[in-house]
Structure 1
Amino acid sequence: MTPRITGTGRPAGISAAGVSVRRATARDAKRLTGLIRSSSAYEGPYAPMISGYRVGPDYIETHRVFLAAAPDGRVLGFYALLLAPPELDLMFVADAAQGLGLGRRLISHMKEEARAAGVRSVRVVSHPPAEGFYLGVGAERVGTVTANPPAVMWDRPELVIRVAPAATPRPGPEPHRSRHP
């Protein structure tokens, strides 16, 4: 059980200040798995999707997995970007850290990673309750992925997050040169 501050719904000491985003390592696998399994977004009818789900060290070493960590080392969220084809495979923010802007920060970080890899758009197959979040960060709905029983019993929104290409400096006007020395 996580200690909570009365009236805030957040464990003591969680704020966006001081949160860092770093590449996950194989040693983070158990903590990322724990974050997924403790997500209240996957309770009730959505529970079968994460039942027994595990983020393994091999997954972290194979894909671009980044986590948001509090100054004390607590994992507050993470995402996994697959490049071939480009897809946001996993994204979770700890229940206690929701509403702090960490999801937006992770999406912004993911877009920078995708841009650096030359990716122009990233597919997202969203957990139905998370669709509003993705639309709020600029994703566009492009379709629906049909249910795949027994693990996924519901249709899921399919979205695309566009990634603007890296800005290239435009040549400006020629500097004025004096004819006099």
Structure 2
Amino acid sequence: MTSTLQVAIAPATVAETEVLTTMVRTSGAYTGDYRVMVANQTIDAAYIARHVTRVAHGPDGELLGFATLQVPGRGGPGEGEVDFMFVADDAQGRGIGRLLMDDLRAEAAKRGLHRLHVVSHPPSAGFYRSCGFRDVGVIEPYGRIGWSRPHLVLSLG
């Protein structure tokens, strides 16, 4: 899928996993206390083999962002979960997140899903709401995550 922003979205490749991991671990959205949530995250070949992983490339081939879909994820049959949604810090504000979300919706529809879930990083919840997700609950703190996170859903179709 290509947009007027000259962004191409395609399946992730194993060759891109190191860049994806770096994007997650160094994201400016996860500073301070939030850093613990992403410090040890790894996107590797096994991950992209198990989950729909879509990447956004700019006109020069640079990796601008990525999104992943877990099936199954939260919910029941016919439901999936947005696991990762990251846009490179220097590429934010250009509509790339919205393009990735539209692409992920299309991928979910191809798989016959009727609903998507996301447990959002609190500062990112507004983005998901702007994409049509609605709040359905809160995931309470557990493990190394010491803060509550919004649980949102999006009905497809």
Same fold (TM over 0.5): yes
User: How far apart are 1:17 and its partner, in Å?
Assistant: 2.3
Total equivalences in the alignment: 148
User: How far apart are 1:49 and its partner, in Å?
Assistant: 0.4
Alignment of 1:35-114 (within 5 A): 35-85=23-73, 86-114=80-108
Deviations 1:45-104, CA, capped at 9 Å, x for gaps: 101001121111110111100000112221111011011131001110111111111111
Aligned-partner Cα distance in 1 for 2:5–2:97: 14
Alignment of 1:130-169 (within 5 A): 130-150=124-144, 152-164=145-157
Aligned-partner Cα distance in 2 for 1:157–1:17: 30
Q: TM-score, normalised to structure 2's length?
A: 0.91
User: How far apart are 1:155 and its partner, in Å?
Assistant: 0.5
Structure 1 residue runs of 4 or more that deviate by more than 3 Å after TM superposition: none
Aligned-partner Cα distance in 2 for 1:75–1:38: 14
Which residue identity lines up with residue 158 of structure 1 in the other structure? H
SS of residue matched to 2:127: helix
Aligned-partner Cα distance in 1 for 2:97–2:129: 12
SS of residue matched to 1:76: strand
User: How far apart are 1:149 and its partner, in Å?
Assistant: 2.5
Deviations 1:156-180, CA, capped at 9 Å, x for gaps: 000001111xxxxxxxxxxxxxxxx
Aligned-partner Cα distance in 2 for 1:73–1:61: 22
Deviations 1:128-163, CA, capped at 9 Å, x for gaps: 00001111110010000011122x110100000111
**Alignment RMSD (CA, Å):** 1.0
Query: Gaps (5+ residues) in structure 2?
Result: 74-79
Q: Which residue is equivalent to 1:7?
A: none
Q: Which residue is equivalent to 1:21?
A: 9
